[in-house]
Amino acid sequence: MAEARAWIAAESRLISEVFDNCLTELDQPFKQACQQAWSSPAVNGPGQMNLNGFGPGNQQGLISRMEHAIGYRFGLRRLLPAPLVRRSLKHYGYLPRPGEPGSSTDAGRL
> Domain segments of the chain: what residues?
1-36+60-97
Determine the pLDDT at residue 107: 39
Q: Which residue, 20, 95, 25, is CA-closest to 57?
A: 25
Instruction: Give the whole-number percent of the chain exceeding pLDDT 90.
Output: 16
In tens, the pLDDT along 61-110 reads 888 888 999 888 888 888 889 899 999 889 988 887 666 655 444 434 34
**What does the mean pLDDT of the chain come to?**
81
Rounded Cα–Cα distance for residues 27 and 6 (Å): 19
Mark 41-59 as b/e (b = at least 16 C-beta within 10 Å): eeeeeeeeeeeeeeeeeee
Contact (Cβ atoms closer than 8 angstroms) between residue 16 and residue 66:
no
